[in-house]
Structure 1
Amino acid sequence: MACPYSVLISGDIKDRLTKKDDCLKLLLFLSTELQALQILQKKKHKNSQLDKNSEICQEVQAVCDALGVPKSNTSDIPLLLSQVESKVKDILSKVQKNHVGKPLLKVDLSSEQAEKLERINDALSCEYECRRRMLMKRLDVTVQSFGWSDRAKAKTDNIARIYQPKRYALSPKTTVTLAHLLAAREDLSKIIRTSSGISREKTACAINKK
């Protein structure tokens, strides 16, 4: 605490409170410090009570819904996260030891490392957004080319009704964040070739045969 009264922080400690005025100064200083602490605590509590429509609150509520945590009317994020932690521990206690797998990232990140990774992710996100926009544009042009024939012109409405809902569901924005890295397991590092049997089973169709 930075006391503004020099008489209370200098000289012999036994002589600092011999005068009534000095005692009052000490009481004034301590009372203002207490008031400041109470204000900070109220602000801290207020910040934890977020608007239920806020993005953070919605994300936490989505986690609660996925885990089957009973719905709560509170928007106290620390309380909700505590309930999530308890639920996760309960679920993990009922599965095999290696069910989740080992984390891909085995070290704790410092704040500086986390900031660098955020910047790297932002740069990659911009790059991939550009690529996704290009691919989506190519998709639009390809589908439009299907309508050039006389047969297709008669079915323009049908094509649009089927295609547009799926098209508008696509977004050029990536949803990958630093949280995905922290949650990644070791199996994510196993690269499966697109020509492998497992991959071909999922991509084979009437046009793209085995």
Structure 2
Amino acid sequence: MENDILDALEDIGYAGPMLEEGGLEKALEGGPKSVEYTALVEWLSKELKSLCKMEEHVNAIVSPEDSSSFLLEVSSFLKELGCGYSCLLEGHMSERLHTRQNRILLLDFLLTELEAARMVLVNKPELNKTMELQLNESSTASDLKNMLIALKFPKPPANITPGLLFGKVETKVSLSVELAQHVRLYITPGLLYGKVETKVSLSVELAQRVRLYITPGLLFGKVETKMKEVLSKASPELIGKPLFTGVLSEKQWHQLEELHKEMQQEYRLRREMLIKRIDVTIQSFQASTDTTWSERVRNQQDEIASMFLGKRKALVIEPDVHLSDLLAAREDLAIIEKTSNASVRRNTQSSVNKVIIGRVPDRGGRPSDQQPPPPEMPSWQQQRPGGET
């Protein structure tokens, strides 16, 4: 059976370490705790995801402790793929790839599905893509397209000039700010300046493509003039006052950057610790016996696992905080709402919080009510040398 797996890997164009002598044998021995085995499953799942238009794929592990997460993703992926092997879908999740036979069966199933998907793609190609030209979109063009989509622009004609296009963008931004005055959208100038600064390469590269020679200094000058014009028309309540209005020297900016790096590292460690705690908590439930789960919940392990994976992927270790957020902060950021506030309690209250416990009997236990212990030696008798009384 191992030779059939190796032949199938060569047929589909796999060129990884599994084709080396003893590579597949070593991976099968480790199973879900082997980095090589999980990497092969990840590669097969990504190929199937692109061909079958699936939503998820399986990620390889980094260390053997991540095997529980790998088993969760495999179970969810096989269900989406419509796997018919009960031994890979039923039973306790930690025991599905416990045997060597099941590990080989998983690879065989993924390989045959990948071969079938490629055959279907060749025999029945999509008609609407037979004559489609594939263009590699640059990051600059992607950012420009996203900007036009966000402003709800129709598709511009092919012969439009850059000057006319940016003129329409300025008009649209002005109308959006005026609309924001009515719906009270809090647009901060600091945040807008930060985004413009990070996207300056967009305008420079676009200018080079259309031979419109514009310098970053000229671009920022026009942006600043337009921003001042727009802000002069906006009400003070709409924009608010900046939280930081001071002026920093070059040395102070360097010190602020170093402080930002230290806080980034500190909160990165905190986020990593909390994420590791939730992973260990979930793994403890998966590694426990079936008696830990109730009968109703025991039949929903896969559903619970898929729900957890969807939320787990949104948790990232690196904090998304930059110095531009400090410049864009407004005074309302310093307002801290109490946890008992009605606006906060609306999202945290539950039926458990509404249970009122009645009077209960006094159980004691207060240190002030306890009698001191008797002395070890009577006050009228002294201890003699040697321990005798």
TM bracket (short chain): 0.5 to 0.7
Letter in 2 for 1:75: L
Query: Are 1:200 and 2:286 an aligned pair?
Result: no
Change (3 A) 1:63 1:207: farther
Q: Which one of the candidate residues 108, 114, 122 is aligned to 2:247?
A: 108
Question: TM-score normalized by structure 1?
Answer: 0.58
Q: Distance in 2 between matches of 1:83 and 1:64?
A: 18
Identity %: 36
Distance in 2 (CA, whole Å) between partners of 1:90 and 1:157 is: 57
Task: Determine whether 1:149 maps to 2:276.
Answer: no
Query: What are the Cα deviations for residues 76-102 of structure 1, in whole angstroms up to 9, with x where unaligned?
Result: 353776676566556535532231111
Give, in whole Å, the separation in 1 of the partners of 2:245 and 2:333: 14
Q: Is the 8 A contact 2:144 2:202 kept in 1?
A: no
Residue 170, structure 1, aligned to residue 315, structure 2:
yes
Match of 1:75 in 2: 202
Q: State the secondary structure of the residue aligned to 1:98.
A: helix
> Is the CA contact 1:103–1:184 (under 8 Å) kept in the aligned structure 2?
yes
Contact 1:52–1:75 (Cα < 8 Å) also in 2: no
Q: Secondary structure at the match of 1:131?
A: helix
SS at match of 1:129: helix
Q: What letter is aligned with 2:301? A: T
**Which of 268, 277, 291 is 1:129 aligned to?**
268
| RMSD, matched Cα | 3.8
Q: Judge conservation of contact 1:67–1:87 (CA < 8 Å) in 2.
A: no
Task: Figure out how many residues of one structure are paired with residues of the other and give that number.
Answer: 157
Evaluate the alpha carbon distance shift between residue 108 and residue 134 of structure 1 in structure 2; reply closer, same or farther with a 3 A threshold. same
For 2:242 and 2:149, locate their aligned partners in 1 and report how far apart those are by CA, in whole Å.
21
For the 8 Å contact 1:105–1:182, the answer to whether it is kept is yes
Q: Equivalent residues in 2 for 1:88-103 (5 A)?
A: 88-89=227-228, 91-103=230-242
Amino acid at match of 1:115: H
1:67 and 1:84 in contact (8 A); partners too: no
Amino acid at match of 2:305: A
Equivalent-residue separation in structure 2 for 1:145 and 1:91 (angstroms) = 56
Change (3 A) 1:181 1:150: same
Instruction: Give the deviation of 1:126 after TM superposition.
Output: 0.8
Partners of 2:313 and 2:352 in 1: CA distance: 25
Superimposed CA distance per residue, residues 120-160 of structure 1 (whole angstroms, 9 cap, x where no aligned partner): 11101111111111111222233445554153342221012
Q: Deviations over 1:9-51 (max 9, x none)?
A: xxxxxxxxxxxxxxxxxxxxxxxxxxxxxxxxxxxxxxxxxx9
Match of 1:179 in 2: 324
Match of 2:139 among 53, 73, 76: 53
Please name the residue that 1:28 is paired with. Answer: none
Distance 1:128 1:76, change over 3 A: same
Alpha-carbon separation, structure 1, partners of 2:340 and 2:240: 26
Paired amino acid for 1:180: D
Task: Provide the rounded CA distance (Å) in 2 between the counterparts of 1:173 and 1:205.
Answer: 31
Residues 1:87 and 1:165: Cα distance change in structure 2 (over 3 Å): farther
TM-score by length of 2: 0.34
Q: Distance in 1 between matches of 2:152 and 2:203?
A: 15
Code of the aligned partner of 2:310: P
Tell me the distance in 1 between the aligned counterparts of 2:259 and 2:354.
Answer: 39
Q: Residues 177, 63 of structure 1: CA spacing in aligned structure 2 closer, same or farther, 3 A cutoff? A: farther
Amino acid at match of 1:167: R
